[in-house]
Amino acid sequence: MNQEKRILCIGAGYVGGPTMAVIATRCPQYRVTVVDVDETKITAWNSDRLPIYEPGLDDLVRSARGRNLFFSTDIRRAVKENDIIFVSVNTPTKNFGAGAGMASDLQYLEQVARMILEHAESPKIVIEKSTLPVKTAQALERILGCNGHGVRFDVLSNPEFLAEGTAIRDLENPDRILIGSRETDRGIKAREALAEIYANWVPRTRIVTSNIWSSELSKLVANFFLAQRISTINAVSAVCEKTEADVVEVAKIVGMDSRIGSKFLNASIGFGGSCFKKDILNLVYLCQHFGLPEVADYVESVVKMNEYQKERFFLTMLTAMFNTLAGKRVCLFGFAFKADTADTRESPAIFVVRKLLEEKAEVIISDPKALENARKDLSDVNGRIQYVEDPYEAAAGCHAIALLTEWDLYRELDYRKIFSTMSKPAFIFDGRNVLDHKSCFDIGFNVFPVGKPSLTHFA
Ligand code: UDX
Ligand code: UDX
């Protein structure tokens, strides 16, 4: 097929890679290029071992790569050759200077803008794919506006709502595609050019357009709402544990109200991932910046509740195990921040491991996909941790299992066999409420779910 249309994405990460793989698959008439400053990552995208694990991604990349999907480090050439440019570089929480610990670090975004400016020879549509503070588009426009050779730039906001582990499904069948633009003739024309790409597979009714600030803000607000639900149900889990109510029953009952809905009501050890904490703190910083301290405090409470939930989970372990973990072997089932991903960014498991080590426990980490990332996250304390992929081997000789990621495989293990190899009394702390607690108890375990009565064999 003639690929006369071209698209570029700068940033080959969790968002850029899968998004472009889906666009390339759904739009064979487009030639899609993905560039990144990280050479190792690009080599991996061009190999059989992709840099990220995402169900369904391998097949898409295998079929489109070399046909209309290309991975490269030649950013300069790519900018010259493409007029529709997605920017999907990371925007981590700033760890220095004003707003440290809260504001977004926009240095990579700005570097990319300057690079586009330097190499562009024809008009470009520059699309913010990364999640950004409101008004970032204005900064981009101002930087891109400083060009001597009269090239025109239009900036659009097109935030990504995919969740890791279900990225391909989310991209192929999105609830909505959001495109924000300036409401000028040019802005609307640019918006239409982008909508046309998505319209290859997304019904027009799901392509929503808005002014550019609503678009930037909506992404932060969507993540705030989702994370807020988790913090709310996690707060309720603490009340359940004190009252013998069962958070799973409460969530089911509450979620049956169609005004509330049933999704994102799983009590857990707390949310992780690269987005929730970063984006919510970003929103907090914006509120402070705009002189809205009460709003800032309200938003921040969602993150504080999440920190509390992680701490509470750890304290439950410590108290249940007679207030001492020194020399005890604790096995973690799961290290990724959720199932079906190798991603460990902001995973609650990182917090739990560090707390266990402070208590001088021995830690054995098991995970089907995330051990490589776990080793990197814990590189400063690696000497004190064992990494064992096989869960049976990992749990053998341990005093406790803490289930931290809801991988399907953990539901299906033979817990009778595991129990027989563990030190007694043996404990299970189910940070995801996915095990059959009664049957684990019947086997002999002392079981501590989240937000449900514990089941112990002690008088
Ligand atoms: C990123 C943002 O963090 C998130 O806020 C946004 O919603 C989507 O984009 P993600 O794809 O998960 O999320 O980030 P990451 O996997 O770190 O990928 C970013 C890529 O950009 C990295 O591969 C990095 O090497 C690359 N990059 C960064 C560049 O190519 N150029 C730069 O100047 C900086
Ligand atoms: C999230 C948003 O869902 C997505 O739209 C946005 O673009 C990026 O941030 P992601 O971080 O990939 O996606 O995963 P998500 O499925 O939202 O889970 C985030 C965290 O919340 C995980 O640690 C998960 O285990 C936890 N979670 C989720 C709960 O603890 N309980 C729930 O009910 C749901």
Under the banding of pLDDT at 50, 70 and 90, the label for residue 452 is: very high
Can you tell me whether residue 124 is helix, strand or coil? strand
Contact of 122 with 147, CB cutoff 8 Å? no
Which ligand gives the minimal distance to the CA of 15? 1
pLDDT at 2 over 70: no
The catalytic residue among 275, 287, 331, 440 is 275
Phi, psi of 241 (to 5 degrees): -65, -25
Q: Is 440 assigned a catalytic role?
A: no
As a whole number of angstroms, the distance between CA 270 and CA 272 comes to 7
pLDDT at 166 over 60: yes
Confidence of residue 132 (pLDDT cuts 50, 70, 90): confident
Question: Among candidates 349, 369, 352, which has minimal Cα distance to 409?
Answer: 369
User: Mean pLDDT across the chain, nearest whole number?
Assistant: 96
Decide: 129 in ligand 2 pocket, CB within 6 A: no
- Predicted local distance difference test score (pLDDT) of residue 382: 87
Query: What average pLDDT does this structure show over 170-176?
Result: 98
| Residue 190, φ and ψ in degrees, nearest 5 | -65, -45
**Looking at ligand 2, which atom is closest to the CA of residue 161?**
7
Inform me whether the pLDDT recorded for 433 exceeds 70.
yes
Tokens 């869960």 appear where? 391
Q: Which residues of 336-345 are buried (b: 16+ CB within 10 A; e: fewer)?
A: bbbbbbbbbb
What tokens does 218 get? 């909506």
Q: How far is the CA of 277 from the centre of ligand 2 (A)?
A: 11
* pLDDT in the model for residue 145: 87
Nearest to 128 by CA among 179, 93, 77: 179
> 305 near 239, Cβ under 8 Å?
no
Q: Answer whether residue 133 shows pLDDT above 90.
A: no
What is the arithmetic mean of pLDDT over 147-158? 88
User: Which of these, 58, 59, 130, lies nearest to 88 by C-alpha position?
Assistant: 130
pLDDT of residue 109: 93
- pTM of the predicted structure, to 2 decimals: 0.96
What percentage of the chain reaches a pLDDT higher than 70? 99
Residue 146 has pLDDT above 90, yes or no: no
DSSP 165: T
How confident is residue 7, by pLDDT bands cut at 50, 70 and 90? Answer: very high
Average pLDDT over residues 178-204: 97
Mean pLDDT of the 10-28 span? 97
Contacts of range 169-172, beta carbons closer than 8 Å, 24 or more positions apart: 169/56, 171/18, 171/19, 171/22, 172/22, 172/26, 172/201
- How many other CB atoms are there within 10 angstroms of residue 299's CB atom? 24
> Residue 238 burial (CB < 10 Å; 0-12/13-18/19+)?
middle
- Cis before 425? omega within 30: yes
| Cβ atoms within 10 Å of 443's Cβ, excluding its own | 18
Residue range 343-356, pLDDT digits in tens: 999 999 999 999 99
Tell me the average pLDDT across 257-277.
97
Q: Is the pLDDT of residue 1 over 70?
A: no
Q: Return the pLDDT at 301.
A: 98
> What is residue 149's predicted lDDT score, i.e. its pLDDT?
74
Domains of the chain: 5-202 (3.40.50.720), 212-459 (3.40.50.720)
pLDDT digits over 348-397, tens only?
Answer: 999 999 999 999 999 999 999 999 999 999 999 988 899 999 999 999 99
Q: What is the pLDDT of residues 85-114, one digit of tens each?
A: 999 999 999 999 999 999 999 999 999 999
pLDDT (mean) for 37-61: 97
Between the CA of 35 and the centroid of ligand 1 the distance, in Å, is 11
Q: Which ligand is nearest to the CA of 341?
A: 2
Question: Per-residue pLDDT for 167 more than 70?
Answer: yes
d(CA 157, CA 439): 50
Q: What value, to the nearest 5°, has the Cα angle with vertex 61 and ends 58 and 63?
A: 105
Q: Is 85 helix (H, G, I), strand (E, B) or coil?
A: strand
Q: pLDDT for 270-307, tens place per residue?
A: 999 999 999 999 999 999 999 999 999 999 999 999 99
Token code pair at residue 355: 């707390």
Atom of ligand 2 nearest to the CA of 222: 5
Q: Is 160 in the pocket of ligand 2 (CB under 6 A)?
A: yes
Q: Which of 119-133, 198-212, 384-398 has the lowest mean pLDDT?
A: 119-133
- Tokens linked to 444: 């002999």
